[in-house]
Structure 1
Amino acid sequence: MLRSYLRLTLFTLGLLIGIQVPGFIEAYAQHVEARRLEAQEGLQGFQDTAQRFFNGDLDALVQHYRGSNDPVFQSDAQSVEQLLSRARMLEREWQAMQRPWYARAVHVLLGAERSLRAQVWSSYRFQVLLAPQAIAWGLSCALLLAWLVESLFLAASFPLRSRARRYKSYR
């Protein structure tokens, strides 16, 4: 019977973990969207400059900065290029999170940007008021209670078993 409780406990654990998956995917999507908007805002001034002088081509702006004799512009070229690279990566991640639920799940599991996934995981709050410690305590208490109840039932049925054995031996 303890085996049945262990199976039930493992099922419950799987259920509790599984409940977290949609919440984590949603947290990842929100994190990506927030970072994406932040990156777009950070590039806005450069985007305006590129719009005025390079028909909106930020890569042309970066190349112009790199080709300048001014060391400040050359340094800014690297900064703008890093901002642009991050904004493009966040846009790709955001696009991936616009797909159907199963594609989103596969992306977060296998294709998500590791640093973003790690950031979300480190700040993720378990939903339905679950936390690893609560799960461990809940499972421990559930196993202990199940064991105690099963032991009580076995102890209570012991005298009945011995009477049944005596009755069979007299026949």
Structure 2
Amino acid sequence: MLRSYIRLILFALGLLVGVQVPGFMSDYSQRIEAHRLEAHQALEGYRKTAGEFFGGDMDRLVAHYRASDDPVFQSDADSLGMLMRREKMLDAQWQALQGRWYERAWHVFTKANPQILDETWQGYRYQVVLTPECMGWGLACAFLLSWIIEAIALALAVLIMPRRRPARRLV
């Protein structure tokens, strides 16, 4: 009886954890998009300058700043290069989050930007959303957690308390 309750608790725990996955991925995706739009906006003035003087080539603008004798322009070249790299990284993150559900999940679990992932964790509020996607994740995690814990418990039971064969009777 106790074993049945433990199974139910594990299943419920897996269910509660699983329904959080789509919400967390959505929050991460929204943060990526917000940072991406902010980076794009920060480069807008530089894009106008590059468009006017360098045919829209931002790399040529950075090279021009670096080649300047003015230390202010050289410093701006470093700042501009950093902004361009950040925008490129955020664009790549955003593109990866536009795929199928399993591609998005794999990306968030394996290739998420650590700073934005941490920012998402800090701002995440646990919630139970009953969309089909959340229910699917919840059931999958519940079954997986239950199955893994049951398998570990069974393996430990076999190791700790092996079954004894009944003694043979000599007739």
* Bin for the TM-score computed over the shorter chain: 0.7 to 0.9
* Alpha-carbon distance in 2 for matches of 1:41, 1:53: 19
Task: Please say if residues 28 and 120 of structure 2, whose CA atoms lie closer than 8 Å, have aligned partners that are also in contact.
Answer: yes
Correspondence 1:18-167 to 2 at 5 A: 18-128=18-128
* Alpha-carbon distance in 2 for matches of 1:127, 1:8: 21
Alpha-carbon displacement from aligned partner over 1:29-65 (angstroms, at most 9, x marks no partner) = 1000000000000000001101111111111111110
Higher relative contact order (CA 8 A, sep 6+): 2
TM-score by length of 2: 0.74
* Alpha-carbon distance in 2 for matches of 1:121, 1:56: 38
Question: What SS class does the counterpart of residue 122 from structure 2 fall into?
Answer: helix
Q: Which has the larger radius of gyration?
A: 1
The alpha-carbon deviation at position 128 of structure 1 amounts to 2.3
Equivalent AA in structure 1 for residue 87 of structure 2? A
The alpha-carbon deviation at position 114 of structure 1 amounts to 1.3
Kindly tell me the number of residue pairs found equivalent between the two proteins: 129
Runs of 4+ in 1 over 2 A off after TM superposition: none
* Unaligned stretches of 5+ residues in structure 2: 130-171
Correspondence 1:10-25 to 2 at 5 A: 10-25=10-25
* Alpha-carbon distance in 2 for matches of 1:51, 1:124: 40
* Alpha-carbon distance in 2 for matches of 1:110, 1:88: 19
Q: CA-atom RMSD, angstroms?
A: 1.0
* Alpha-carbon distance in 2 for matches of 1:24, 1:40: 24
Question: What SS class does the counterpart of residue 17 from structure 1 fall into?
Answer: helix
* Alpha-carbon distance in 1 for matches of 2:30, 2:119: 12
- Structure with bigger helix share is 1
